[in-house]
Structure 1
Amino acid sequence: MKKIICLALLTFGLTANAQNDLPKSAIEIAPLLIGEKIASLTLKSVDDDDVVLETLFSKKRTILVFYRGGWCPYCNLHLAALGEAEKDLLSLGYQIIAISPDAPKALKATEEKDKVNYILLSDSNGEFAKSVGVAFQAPENYKPLISKGSEGVNSTFLPVPAVFIVNLNGEIEFEHITPNYKNRISNDLLIAVAKSLNK
Protein backbone atom coordinates (compact mmCIF):
# COMPACT_ATOMS: atom_id res chain seq x y z
CA MET A 1 0.00 0.00 0.00
CA LYS A 2 2.86 2.37 0.87
CA LYS A 3 4.40 1.68 -2.54
CA ILE A 4 1.15 2.62 -4.28
CA ILE A 5 0.87 5.87 -2.30
CA CYS A 6 4.52 6.75 -3.03
CA LEU A 7 4.00 6.01 -6.73
CA ALA A 8 0.86 8.17 -6.81
CA LEU A 9 2.69 11.03 -5.08
CA LEU A 10 5.63 10.69 -7.49
CA THR A 11 3.29 10.82 -10.50
CA PHE A 12 1.52 13.88 -9.07
CA GLY A 13 4.88 15.50 -8.40
CA LEU A 14 6.09 14.93 -11.95
CA THR A 15 2.86 16.42 -13.34
CA ALA A 16 3.19 19.46 -11.11
CA ASN A 17 6.85 19.84 -12.08
CA ALA A 18 5.95 19.77 -15.78
CA GLN A 19 3.82 22.87 -15.17
CA ASN A 20 6.41 24.44 -12.87
CA ASP A 21 9.17 23.87 -15.45
CA LEU A 22 7.44 26.45 -17.64
CA PRO A 23 8.36 30.10 -17.12
CA LYS A 24 5.83 31.81 -14.87
CA SER A 25 5.32 34.78 -17.20
CA ALA A 26 5.78 35.85 -20.80
CA ILE A 27 8.83 37.98 -19.94
CA GLU A 28 10.68 35.01 -18.44
CA ILE A 29 10.80 32.82 -21.57
CA ALA A 30 14.14 31.79 -23.12
CA PRO A 31 13.49 31.30 -26.84
CA LEU A 32 15.86 29.74 -29.33
CA LEU A 33 18.29 32.24 -30.84
CA ILE A 34 19.12 33.21 -34.41
CA GLY A 35 21.25 30.47 -35.95
CA GLU A 36 19.74 27.71 -33.81
CA LYS A 37 17.78 24.88 -35.41
CA ILE A 38 14.10 24.32 -34.70
CA ALA A 39 13.16 20.76 -33.79
CA SER A 40 11.16 18.83 -36.36
CA LEU A 41 8.01 17.63 -34.64
CA THR A 42 4.72 16.32 -35.96
CA LEU A 43 1.73 18.63 -35.55
CA LYS A 44 -1.91 18.42 -36.67
CA SER A 45 -3.45 20.23 -39.63
CA VAL A 46 -6.91 21.80 -39.78
CA ASP A 47 -8.08 18.46 -41.20
CA ASP A 48 -6.51 16.57 -38.25
CA ASP A 49 -3.76 15.09 -40.46
CA ASP A 50 -0.19 14.64 -39.23
CA VAL A 51 2.22 17.24 -40.58
CA VAL A 52 6.01 16.87 -40.19
CA LEU A 53 7.58 20.29 -39.79
CA GLU A 54 10.90 19.28 -41.36
CA THR A 55 9.05 18.34 -44.56
CA LEU A 56 7.36 21.76 -44.68
CA PHE A 57 10.56 23.66 -43.90
CA SER A 58 12.44 21.85 -46.68
CA LYS A 59 10.03 23.18 -49.32
CA LYS A 60 10.43 26.94 -48.82
CA ARG A 61 11.82 29.47 -46.42
CA THR A 62 9.18 29.88 -43.74
CA ILE A 63 7.53 32.68 -41.84
CA LEU A 64 6.73 30.75 -38.65
CA VAL A 65 4.12 32.40 -36.43
CA PHE A 66 3.09 31.48 -32.89
CA TYR A 67 -0.28 32.82 -31.75
CA ARG A 68 -2.37 32.26 -28.63
CA GLY A 69 -5.57 30.96 -30.22
CA GLY A 70 -8.63 31.85 -32.25
CA TRP A 71 -10.27 33.25 -29.09
CA CYS A 72 -7.69 36.08 -28.95
CA PRO A 73 -8.83 39.22 -30.83
CA TYR A 74 -5.25 40.51 -31.16
CA CYS A 75 -4.20 37.20 -32.71
CA ASN A 76 -7.09 37.34 -35.17
CA LEU A 77 -6.07 40.85 -36.24
CA HIS A 78 -2.49 39.66 -36.71
CA LEU A 79 -3.54 36.59 -38.72
CA ALA A 80 -5.70 38.79 -40.96
CA ALA A 81 -2.80 41.23 -41.43
CA LEU A 82 -0.51 38.36 -42.40
CA GLY A 83 -3.08 37.41 -45.02
CA GLU A 84 -2.66 40.88 -46.51
CA ALA A 85 1.13 40.42 -46.63
CA GLU A 86 0.95 36.88 -47.97
CA LYS A 87 1.10 37.81 -51.66
CA ASP A 88 4.31 39.82 -51.14
CA LEU A 89 5.87 37.09 -49.01
CA LEU A 90 4.94 34.35 -51.50
CA SER A 91 6.49 36.38 -54.32
CA LEU A 92 9.72 36.49 -52.30
CA GLY A 93 9.70 32.69 -52.06
CA TYR A 94 8.35 32.29 -48.51
CA GLN A 95 5.48 30.30 -47.02
CA ILE A 96 3.53 31.21 -43.86
CA ILE A 97 2.85 28.66 -41.13
CA ALA A 98 0.91 29.76 -38.03
CA ILE A 99 0.80 27.56 -34.92
CA SER A 100 -1.37 27.72 -31.80
CA PRO A 101 -2.60 25.43 -29.00
CA ASP A 102 -6.01 25.28 -30.69
CA ALA A 103 -7.34 21.88 -31.74
CA PRO A 104 -7.85 21.25 -35.49
CA LYS A 105 -11.59 22.02 -35.24
CA ALA A 106 -10.85 25.44 -33.74
CA LEU A 107 -8.18 26.05 -36.38
CA LYS A 108 -10.79 25.39 -39.06
CA ALA A 109 -13.07 28.01 -37.50
CA THR A 110 -10.20 30.53 -37.43
CA GLU A 111 -9.30 29.73 -41.03
CA GLU A 112 -12.86 30.46 -42.15
CA LYS A 113 -13.42 33.50 -39.89
CA ASP A 114 -10.15 35.24 -40.75
CA LYS A 115 -10.14 34.06 -44.38
CA VAL A 116 -6.70 32.51 -43.95
CA ASN A 117 -5.10 30.88 -47.00
CA TYR A 118 -1.80 29.91 -45.38
CA ILE A 119 -1.08 26.87 -43.17
CA LEU A 120 -2.51 26.64 -39.64
CA LEU A 121 -1.20 23.89 -37.35
CA SER A 122 -2.23 22.60 -33.93
CA ASP A 123 0.24 22.27 -31.04
CA SER A 124 -2.32 21.50 -28.33
CA ASN A 125 0.06 19.66 -26.01
CA GLY A 126 2.61 22.48 -26.30
CA GLU A 127 5.50 20.21 -27.21
CA PHE A 128 6.57 22.43 -30.10
CA ALA A 129 6.09 25.78 -28.31
CA LYS A 130 8.13 24.42 -25.39
CA SER A 131 10.91 23.18 -27.69
CA VAL A 132 11.21 26.65 -29.25
CA GLY A 133 11.12 28.25 -25.79
CA VAL A 134 8.04 30.46 -26.23
CA ALA A 135 5.65 28.65 -23.84
CA PHE A 136 4.85 29.95 -20.36
CA GLN A 137 2.38 29.16 -17.57
CA ALA A 138 -1.10 30.33 -18.49
CA PRO A 139 -2.72 32.72 -16.01
CA GLU A 140 -5.78 31.24 -14.27
CA ASN A 141 -8.25 33.50 -16.11
CA TYR A 142 -7.10 32.12 -19.50
CA LYS A 143 -7.40 28.44 -18.61
CA PRO A 144 -11.09 28.03 -19.58
CA LEU A 145 -10.43 29.69 -22.96
CA ILE A 146 -7.39 27.61 -23.84
CA SER A 147 -9.00 24.42 -22.58
CA LYS A 148 -12.02 25.03 -24.81
CA GLY A 149 -9.87 25.95 -27.83
CA SER A 150 -7.71 22.83 -27.43
CA GLU A 151 -10.71 20.58 -26.69
CA GLY A 152 -9.41 19.89 -23.19
CA VAL A 153 -5.84 18.98 -24.14
CA ASN A 154 -4.27 22.20 -22.85
CA SER A 155 -5.07 24.13 -19.71
CA THR A 156 -1.55 24.94 -18.58
CA PHE A 157 0.38 26.96 -21.16
CA LEU A 158 0.25 29.86 -23.59
CA PRO A 159 2.75 30.68 -26.31
CA VAL A 160 4.21 34.17 -26.41
CA PRO A 161 3.23 35.70 -29.79
CA ALA A 162 6.31 35.34 -31.99
CA VAL A 163 7.43 35.39 -35.60
CA PHE A 164 10.47 33.47 -36.82
CA ILE A 165 11.96 33.33 -40.29
CA VAL A 166 13.34 29.84 -40.84
CA ASN A 167 15.53 28.58 -43.68
CA LEU A 168 15.23 25.26 -45.54
CA ASN A 169 17.27 23.51 -42.85
CA GLY A 170 14.97 24.71 -40.06
CA GLU A 171 17.51 27.26 -38.79
CA ILE A 172 16.31 30.60 -37.42
CA GLU A 173 17.36 33.62 -39.49
CA PHE A 174 15.18 36.23 -37.76
CA GLU A 175 12.89 36.43 -34.75
CA HIS A 176 10.42 38.94 -33.35
CA ILE A 177 9.02 38.01 -29.95
CA THR A 178 6.43 40.13 -28.16
CA PRO A 179 5.72 39.32 -24.49
CA ASN A 180 3.08 42.06 -24.63
CA TYR A 181 0.47 40.18 -26.68
CA LYS A 182 -1.13 43.44 -27.83
CA ASN A 183 1.96 44.33 -29.87
CA ARG A 184 2.75 42.46 -33.10
CA ILE A 185 5.27 42.88 -35.89
CA SER A 186 4.06 45.15 -38.70
CA ASN A 187 3.72 43.87 -42.24
CA ASP A 188 6.12 46.55 -43.46
CA LEU A 189 8.87 45.39 -41.11
CA LEU A 190 8.25 41.71 -41.83
CA ILE A 191 8.37 42.22 -45.61
CA ALA A 192 11.49 44.41 -45.30
CA VAL A 193 13.28 41.71 -43.29
CA ALA A 194 12.14 38.99 -45.70
CA LYS A 195 13.53 41.02 -48.60
CA SER A 196 16.85 41.63 -46.85
CA LEU A 197 17.30 37.93 -46.09
CA ASN A 198 16.65 37.14 -49.74
CA LYS A 199 19.68 39.09 -50.95
Structure 2
Amino acid sequence: EAGVSRRSALKGAFAALECTLFPAATELLTRPGLPGEPKATPSDLLRPEAWKSLAPYDMDGAAQAEAAAALARGDELVASGDPAGAVGEYERAADLVGSGQYKLWQAATLRGGHAKELAGDRAAGNANSSEVWWWGRGLRWPGWYIIAYLSARSAYYDTKYPDGVPAPARATSRASARGALGAKARGAEPKRKAGNDLIFELIILTVGGIEQPDA
Protein backbone atom coordinates (compact mmCIF):
# COMPACT_ATOMS: atom_id res chain seq x y z
CA GLU A 1 0.00 0.00 0.00
CA ALA A 2 2.78 2.43 0.91
CA GLY A 3 4.59 1.62 -2.33
CA VAL A 4 1.42 2.21 -4.34
CA SER A 5 0.80 5.53 -2.57
CA ARG A 6 4.32 6.74 -3.31
CA ARG A 7 4.05 5.65 -6.93
CA SER A 8 0.70 7.38 -7.32
CA ALA A 9 2.04 10.55 -5.72
CA LEU A 10 5.03 10.60 -8.06
CA LYS A 11 2.82 10.06 -11.11
CA GLY A 12 0.46 12.79 -9.94
CA ALA A 13 3.34 15.21 -9.42
CA PHE A 14 4.73 14.33 -12.84
CA ALA A 15 1.31 14.97 -14.42
CA ALA A 16 1.17 18.41 -12.78
CA LEU A 17 4.65 19.30 -14.07
CA GLU A 18 3.79 18.02 -17.55
CA CYS A 19 0.98 20.54 -17.96
CA THR A 20 2.63 23.51 -16.20
CA LEU A 21 6.38 23.80 -15.65
CA PHE A 22 7.69 21.67 -18.52
CA PRO A 23 5.78 23.34 -21.38
CA ALA A 24 6.26 26.82 -19.90
CA ALA A 25 10.02 26.36 -19.52
CA THR A 26 10.27 24.95 -23.04
CA GLU A 27 8.30 27.93 -24.33
CA LEU A 28 10.66 30.39 -22.67
CA LEU A 29 13.83 28.73 -23.93
CA THR A 30 12.77 28.02 -27.51
CA ARG A 31 10.84 31.11 -28.57
CA PRO A 32 12.46 34.37 -29.74
CA GLY A 33 12.52 37.35 -27.42
CA LEU A 34 9.73 39.88 -27.27
CA PRO A 35 10.19 42.87 -29.62
CA GLY A 36 13.38 44.66 -28.68
CA GLU A 37 14.40 42.02 -26.12
CA PRO A 38 16.93 39.15 -26.35
CA LYS A 39 16.01 35.49 -26.38
CA ALA A 40 15.77 33.90 -22.92
CA THR A 41 18.63 31.78 -21.58
CA PRO A 42 18.55 29.00 -18.94
CA SER A 43 19.54 31.52 -16.25
CA ASP A 44 16.37 33.48 -17.03
CA LEU A 45 14.33 30.60 -15.60
CA LEU A 46 15.33 31.94 -12.18
CA ARG A 47 13.87 35.39 -12.91
CA PRO A 48 10.17 35.95 -12.11
CA GLU A 49 10.05 38.61 -14.85
CA ALA A 50 10.82 35.96 -17.45
CA TRP A 51 7.86 33.84 -16.38
CA LYS A 52 5.60 36.89 -16.39
CA SER A 53 6.51 37.44 -20.04
CA LEU A 54 4.44 34.35 -20.89
CA ALA A 55 1.29 36.38 -20.29
CA PRO A 56 -0.54 37.60 -23.43
CA TYR A 57 1.46 40.36 -25.10
CA ASP A 58 -0.18 43.54 -26.37
CA MET A 59 1.46 43.78 -29.79
CA ASP A 60 1.97 47.27 -31.16
CA GLY A 61 -0.32 47.65 -34.16
CA ALA A 62 2.10 49.80 -36.16
CA ALA A 63 4.96 47.33 -35.66
CA GLN A 64 2.74 44.43 -36.69
CA ALA A 65 1.63 46.26 -39.83
CA GLU A 66 5.26 47.07 -40.68
CA ALA A 67 6.19 43.41 -40.20
CA ALA A 68 3.35 42.31 -42.47
CA ALA A 69 4.57 44.76 -45.12
CA ALA A 70 8.11 43.39 -44.86
CA LEU A 71 6.73 39.86 -45.23
CA ALA A 72 4.90 40.90 -48.39
CA ARG A 73 8.04 42.54 -49.81
CA GLY A 74 9.95 39.33 -49.16
CA ASP A 75 7.33 37.35 -51.06
CA GLU A 76 7.61 39.76 -53.99
CA LEU A 77 11.40 39.45 -54.08
CA VAL A 78 11.21 35.65 -54.09
CA ALA A 79 8.63 35.76 -56.89
CA SER A 80 10.89 38.08 -58.91
CA GLY A 81 13.86 35.72 -58.55
CA ASP A 82 15.78 37.49 -55.77
CA PRO A 83 15.67 35.11 -52.77
CA ALA A 84 18.86 36.57 -51.29
CA GLY A 85 17.24 40.00 -51.12
CA ALA A 86 14.09 38.48 -49.64
CA VAL A 87 15.98 37.03 -46.67
CA GLY A 88 16.55 40.49 -45.18
CA GLU A 89 12.86 41.38 -45.46
CA TYR A 90 11.78 38.14 -43.82
CA GLU A 91 14.26 38.60 -40.99
CA ARG A 92 13.05 42.16 -40.48
CA ALA A 93 9.46 40.93 -40.26
CA ALA A 94 10.41 38.28 -37.69
CA ASP A 95 12.46 40.73 -35.59
CA LEU A 96 9.67 43.31 -35.51
CA VAL A 97 7.19 40.95 -33.85
CA GLY A 98 9.41 38.42 -32.05
CA SER A 99 7.42 36.20 -29.72
CA GLY A 100 4.68 38.84 -29.58
CA GLN A 101 3.01 37.47 -32.71
CA TYR A 102 3.44 33.74 -33.21
CA LYS A 103 1.77 33.33 -36.61
CA LEU A 104 3.59 36.21 -38.28
CA TRP A 105 6.97 35.26 -36.80
CA GLN A 106 6.47 31.67 -37.87
CA ALA A 107 5.54 32.66 -41.42
CA ALA A 108 8.49 35.03 -41.74
CA THR A 109 10.96 32.49 -40.35
CA LEU A 110 9.75 29.59 -42.50
CA ARG A 111 9.67 31.69 -45.66
CA GLY A 112 13.07 33.13 -44.80
CA GLY A 113 14.41 29.59 -44.50
CA HIS A 114 12.96 28.72 -47.90
CA ALA A 115 14.56 31.84 -49.41
CA LYS A 116 17.94 30.85 -47.94
CA GLU A 117 17.64 27.43 -49.54
CA LEU A 118 16.78 29.01 -52.88
CA ALA A 119 19.85 31.21 -52.48
CA GLY A 120 21.98 28.09 -52.00
CA ASP A 121 22.33 27.97 -48.20
CA ARG A 122 20.48 24.80 -47.29
CA ALA A 123 21.98 24.55 -43.80
CA ALA A 124 20.73 28.03 -42.88
CA GLY A 125 17.30 27.18 -44.25
CA ASN A 126 17.14 24.05 -42.11
CA ALA A 127 18.15 26.12 -39.07
CA ASN A 128 15.13 28.36 -39.63
CA SER A 129 12.81 25.36 -39.79
CA SER A 130 14.37 24.00 -36.61
CA GLU A 131 13.66 27.28 -34.78
CA VAL A 132 10.00 27.07 -35.72
CA TRP A 133 9.80 23.39 -34.78
CA TRP A 134 11.28 23.96 -31.33
CA TRP A 135 8.99 26.85 -30.46
CA GLY A 136 6.12 24.62 -31.54
CA ARG A 137 7.10 22.22 -28.72
CA GLY A 138 6.23 24.85 -26.10
CA LEU A 139 2.84 25.72 -24.63
CA ARG A 140 1.04 25.02 -27.91
CA TRP A 141 2.18 21.40 -28.18
CA PRO A 142 -0.69 19.06 -27.24
CA GLY A 143 1.73 16.25 -26.39
CA TRP A 144 2.46 17.79 -22.97
CA TYR A 145 -1.20 17.65 -21.99
CA ILE A 146 -1.81 14.19 -23.41
CA ILE A 147 1.11 12.86 -21.37
CA ALA A 148 -0.17 14.69 -18.29
CA TYR A 149 -3.58 13.08 -18.76
CA LEU A 150 -2.08 9.60 -19.12
CA SER A 151 0.06 10.10 -16.02
CA ALA A 152 -2.86 11.40 -13.96
CA ARG A 153 -5.08 8.54 -15.11
CA SER A 154 -2.39 6.02 -14.24
CA ALA A 155 -2.01 7.56 -10.77
CA TYR A 156 -5.77 7.38 -10.25
CA TYR A 157 -6.01 3.71 -11.19
CA ASP A 158 -2.96 2.83 -9.10
CA THR A 159 -4.79 4.28 -6.11
CA LYS A 160 -8.18 2.75 -6.89
CA TYR A 161 -6.85 -0.68 -7.89
CA PRO A 162 -3.60 -1.31 -5.99
CA ASP A 163 -3.53 -4.92 -7.22
CA GLY A 164 -4.08 -3.99 -10.85
CA VAL A 165 -7.11 -3.35 -13.04
CA PRO A 166 -8.94 -6.61 -13.78
CA ALA A 167 -9.56 -7.13 -17.47
CA PRO A 168 -13.05 -8.41 -18.35
CA ALA A 169 -13.35 -12.12 -18.78
CA ARG A 170 -14.01 -13.23 -22.30
CA ALA A 171 -16.40 -15.84 -23.46
CA THR A 172 -15.83 -17.95 -26.51
CA SER A 173 -18.38 -19.73 -28.58
CA ARG A 174 -18.17 -23.40 -29.26
CA ALA A 175 -20.29 -25.48 -31.58
CA SER A 176 -22.41 -28.11 -29.94
CA ALA A 177 -22.82 -31.64 -31.30
CA ARG A 178 -26.05 -30.60 -33.03
CA GLY A 179 -24.49 -27.47 -34.64
CA ALA A 180 -25.82 -24.97 -32.11
CA LEU A 181 -23.48 -22.35 -30.70
CA GLY A 182 -22.81 -22.43 -27.01
CA ALA A 183 -20.88 -20.01 -24.88
CA LYS A 184 -18.21 -21.19 -22.56
CA ALA A 185 -16.63 -18.71 -20.24
CA ARG A 186 -12.90 -18.68 -20.09
CA GLY A 187 -10.87 -17.84 -17.06
CA ALA A 188 -10.14 -14.23 -16.36
CA GLU A 189 -7.19 -12.86 -18.25
CA PRO A 190 -4.14 -11.80 -16.31
CA LYS A 191 -4.61 -8.46 -14.67
CA ARG A 192 -2.92 -5.54 -16.32
CA LYS A 193 -1.33 -2.70 -14.46
CA ALA A 194 -2.64 0.78 -15.17
CA GLY A 195 0.95 1.95 -15.00
CA ASN A 196 1.46 0.43 -18.44
CA ASP A 197 -0.24 3.53 -19.84
CA LEU A 198 3.05 5.33 -19.37
CA ILE A 199 4.62 3.20 -22.09
CA PHE A 200 2.67 5.23 -24.62
CA GLU A 201 4.28 8.46 -23.42
CA LEU A 202 7.49 7.61 -25.27
CA ILE A 203 5.47 7.20 -28.45
CA ILE A 204 3.60 10.47 -27.94
CA LEU A 205 6.85 12.36 -27.38
CA THR A 206 7.82 11.62 -30.97
CA VAL A 207 4.54 12.95 -32.37
CA GLY A 208 4.22 16.56 -33.44
CA GLY A 209 4.45 18.91 -36.34
CA ILE A 210 4.87 22.48 -37.37
CA GLU A 211 1.72 24.54 -37.42
CA GLN A 212 1.14 25.84 -40.91
CA PRO A 213 1.32 29.65 -41.15
CA ASP A 214 -1.43 31.71 -42.65
CA ALA A 215 -0.77 32.67 -46.25
Q: Does the TM-score normalized on the shorter chain lie above 0.5?
A: no
More helix by share: 2
Going by fraction, where is strand more abundant, 1 or 2? 1
Normalised by the size of structure 2, how large is the TM-score? 0.25
The structure with the largest alpha-carbon Rg is 2
TM-score (norm 1): 0.27
